[in-house]
Amino acid sequence: MGNNEKCQPEKGPQSQSKSPIMLFFALFCMRKSLISRLISLNSAKFRTKKIFIFPSAKRTFLKLQFPRKCAIIRGNLPESCNRMAQIKNQNGIRSLIGIAVLCFSLLFGNFHAFAFVDNATLVAVSITNDTSVMPRTVVTQSWTLKNTGSSTWTPGQTGYTLNIVGQDTLGAIPLFTNANSSRYIVSAIIASGQSIAPGGQATFRMSFITPEAPGVYTDIFQLNGTANFGPLVAVQLNVQKAGSTNQYDRSRVISYANNYAGYVCNDGYFWTNGSGCAHFGAGAPVPTAYLGDDCAHFVSSCIGSQSALRGGGLPIPSRVPPTYGEPGAARLVQNVLIDGGYATEVTSLNEMSPGDVVGWNWEGDTNMNDLDHVTLYLGNGLLASHAISALDVSANSFFQSSEPHYVRHLIHIYDAPTLTMTNVGNKMILSWGTNWTGYSLYTSISLSEGATWQKVANTPARVGKSMTVTNFMNPGARFYRLVLP
């Protein structure tokens, strides 16, 4: 996105074949009713008085007589009797049509009675509800479910999946790569990669990263074939208080990306090109009529700290109100994150963590100030982005396949400020970046569990872009750390 951005708000299942055998069976069961009806129609003008059966001839003879109140005149029935026969014949036809309609409606209109049925029961989970964990912990939940329906569960993303129900609060990270860039739902696939016949069991797995703030967090999931079915299953974690918490909450970053990758960010705006945005409304489906330039706005919302819905918690400045954050990819990565002391460039995905950032240039230009695109790193080699809007796509192939001259920049965001130390004579100067606000310096003589940490009495002084504290060096070991109250 260019540097002359100007925001001008604008209002801006699978069918199954119907077996002919079932139709024949239904008609066969109704044969006697249909035959008797046909006989009554053909003899509508007559009444059967007696039926004589001759077993030797194996034939049935009908002895017929005319209605009592109708006289024979020249071999023809009177007009009144003809009218009575016509009415009876019409009623018989209507009855036969009604039977046929009922038969076909049962077979075709309500064929689900004969179709395959999806159902399941929960067998086991690897993490039980209300399990206690510490902040910033990556865990993997496994759900084992039994196929109690009559259909076979097919594997892979296009088969039977376990999909999130509602919004993500636990930073869910799938363990497979999304091959459909327009699919924006967090899901798990059958772990074995095999079809599961009725009576069989399937295991589904998903990773999660726990938030910084203590509390009980729950994500809900349900099986899906052509529609959701079976029991609601969950992962519920009780995040413990860990004393200080980092300013950057990676769990909230991933949750924001999962909840908004396919939707307009919660400020309601979407950058439609490099110099303008439109107001579509928070949570509206992401626009697809044009490519757009909403990448930096989306990443800003994920990693930032909007008042309406906090992401990771970094104080990303809003350069073009009323949209949140920095709309330019190069400015966000270079000026805000790296120059601001929040991040550094690394060389491998192995050095990246969920909630980090990936910058892209399409012309082979290695200059960070010339970035064309920025995406969010979700972990497990997966990305989320806006315009192109995508979720859980590959960090190693999704953009590279269409941009052969790409240059990729891997940007690792610090969890907390980096504390540095400099010796000047018998004094020790400790410093950290001014952009990390709210931190205090603590000290201890031990790193053992249960060690006492005391707040340093000296007030930090601002020197350029650093907060500094100067202490005299004392004999013995002493340890320091920054704490965010």
pLDDT one-digit tens code per residue, 425-439:
888 899 988 888 788
Is beta strand 131-133 parallel, antiparallel or unpaired with respect to 228-239?
parallel
Structural domain count, the chain: 4
Residue 388 has a pLDDT of 87
Residue 33 has a pLDDT of 52
Mean pLDDT, residues 93-98 taken together: 53
Mean pLDDT, residues 454-474 taken together: 88
How does pLDDT run across 122-169, given as a tens digit for each residue?
999 999 999 999 998 999 999 999 999 999 999 999 999 999 999 999
Residue after which a domain boundary falls, among 390, 413, 436: 413
Question: Residue 232 falls within a domain, yes or no?
Answer: yes
Q: What is the CATH number of the domain that holds 179?
A: 2.60.40.10
CA pair distance 50, 13, nearest whole angstrom: 57
The burial of 457, by beta-carbon neighbours within 10 Å (0-12 exposed, 13-18 middle, 19 or more buried), is given as: exposed
Residue 434 has a pLDDT of 84
Residue 139 has a pLDDT of 96
- The verdict on 336 and 360 lying in the same domain is yes
Which helix (H) or strand (E) segment is 253 a member of?
helix 250-260
Greatest CA separation found in the chain? 142
Is beta strand 382-385 parallel, antiparallel or unpaired with respect to 427-433?
unpaired
Task: Yes or no: say if 304 and 314 are a contact pair by the CB < 8 Å rule.
Answer: yes
Task: Yes or no: say if 265 and 324 are a contact pair by the CB < 8 Å rule.
Answer: yes
- The verdict on 175 and 156 lying in the same domain is yes
Question: Residue 2 falls within a domain, yes or no?
Answer: no
Domain extent at residue 167 = 120-246
Cα distances (angstroms) measured from residue 87 to each of 77, 84, 90, 99: 15, 5, 5, 18
Task: Yes or no: say if 239 and 363 are a contact pair by the CB < 8 Å rule.
Answer: no
Whether the predicted pLDDT of 365 surpasses 60: yes
Tokens of 301: 């919302």
Residue 103 has a pLDDT of 52
- The verdict on 266 and 409 lying in the same domain is yes
Q: Is the peptide bond before 354 cis (omega within 30 degrees of 0)?
A: no
- The verdict on 218 and 138 lying in the same domain is yes
| pTM assigned to the model | 0.74
Q: Which residues of 193-230 are buried (b: 16+ CB within 10 A; e: fewer)?
A: eebbeeeeebbbbbbbbbbbeeeebebbbbbbbeeebb
- Beta bridge partner(s), residue 240: none
Residue 204 has a pLDDT of 98
How does pLDDT run across 10-57, given as a tens digit for each residue?
444 333 444 444 444 444 555 455 444 444 444 444 344 343 333 444
Residue 63: closest CA among 46, 54, 75, 51? 51
pLDDT band at 182 (very low <50, low <70, confident <90, very high): confident
Question: Residue 14 falls within a domain, yes or no?
Answer: no
Residue 48 has a pLDDT of 40
Question: Residue 151 falls within a domain, yes or no?
Answer: yes
Mean pLDDT, residues 224-239 taken together: 97
3-state secondary structure of 353: coil
CA pair distance 469, 295, nearest whole angstrom: 39
Residue 418 has a pLDDT of 83
Helices and strands per DSSP (H, E), number in the chain: 6, 26
The burial of 393, by beta-carbon neighbours within 10 Å (0-12 exposed, 13-18 middle, 19 or more buried), is given as: buried
Cα distances (angstroms) measured from residue 308 to each of 171, 302, 304, 360: 19, 13, 11, 29
Dihedral sign from CA coordinates of 141, 137, 242, 251: negative
- The verdict on 350 and 259 lying in the same domain is yes
Residue after which a domain boundary falls, among 246, 270, 287: 246
Mean pLDDT, residues 438-443 taken together: 88
CA pair distance 250, 310, nearest whole angstrom: 12
Residue 408: closest CA among 373, 383, 378? 373
Residue 442 has a pLDDT of 92
Mean pLDDT, residues 444-458 taken together: 89
Percent of the chain with pLDDT over 90: 58
**How many residues comprise the chain?**
485
Whether the predicted pLDDT of 253 surpasses 90: yes
Residue after which a domain boundary falls, among 413, 439, 462: 413
Question: Residue 53 falls within a domain, yes or no?
Answer: yes
Task: Yes or no: say if 430 and 467 are a contact pair by the CB < 8 Å rule.
Answer: no
- The verdict on 276 and 403 lying in the same domain is yes
Percent of the chain with pLDDT over 70: 75
CA pair distance 335, 369, nearest whole angstrom: 9
Average pLDDT, rounded, for the chain: 82
Residue 43, number of CB atoms within 10 A of its CB: 13
CA pair distance 424, 57, nearest whole angstrom: 128
Following CA atoms 65, 71, 72, 77 in sequence, which dihedral angle do they give, to the nearest 10 degrees?
-90
The burial of 185, by beta-carbon neighbours within 10 Å (0-12 exposed, 13-18 middle, 19 or more buried), is given as: middle
Question: Residue 15 falls within a domain, yes or no?
Answer: no
Bigger pLDDT: 325 or 43? Answer: 325
Residue 58 has a pLDDT of 40
Residue 291 has a pLDDT of 66
Q: What is the CATH number of the domain that holds 336?
A: 3.90.1720
Bigger pLDDT: 263 or 308? Answer: 263
DSSP H stretches of helix in 314-378: 329-330
Residue 417 has a pLDDT of 84
- The verdict on 241 and 296 lying in the same domain is no
Whether the predicted pLDDT of 384 surpasses 70: yes
Bigger pLDDT: 322 or 83? Answer: 322
Bigger pLDDT: 328 or 111? Answer: 328
Question: Residue 13 falls within a domain, yes or no?
Answer: no
DSSP H stretches of helix in 304-448: 329-330
Question: Residue 12 falls within a domain, yes or no?
Answer: no
Residue 370: closest CA among 45, 2, 123, 14? 2
Mean pLDDT, residues 449-453 taken together: 86
Residue 148, number of CB atoms within 10 A of its CB: 13
Looking at beta carbons, which pairs linking 34-40 to residues 24 or more positions away fall under 8 Å? 34/96, 34/99, 37/92, 37/95, 37/96, 37/99, 38/96, 40/92
Residue 439 has a pLDDT of 85
- The verdict on 223 and 190 lying in the same domain is yes
Bigger pLDDT: 362 or 29? Answer: 362
- The verdict on 438 and 305 lying in the same domain is no
- The verdict on 185 and 91 lying in the same domain is no
Residue 482 has a pLDDT of 87
pLDDT band at 483 (very low <50, low <70, confident <90, very high): confident
- The verdict on 262 and 385 lying in the same domain is yes
Residue 401 has a pLDDT of 85
CA pair distance 452, 454, nearest whole angstrom: 7
Task: Yes or no: say if 179 and 157 are a contact pair by the CB < 8 Å rule.
Answer: yes
- The verdict on 231 and 271 lying in the same domain is no
Name 392's Cβ contacts closer than 8 Å, sequence gap at least 6.
Answer: 174, 176, 177, 178, 186, 378, 382, 383, 384
The burial of 308, by beta-carbon neighbours within 10 Å (0-12 exposed, 13-18 middle, 19 or more buried), is given as: exposed
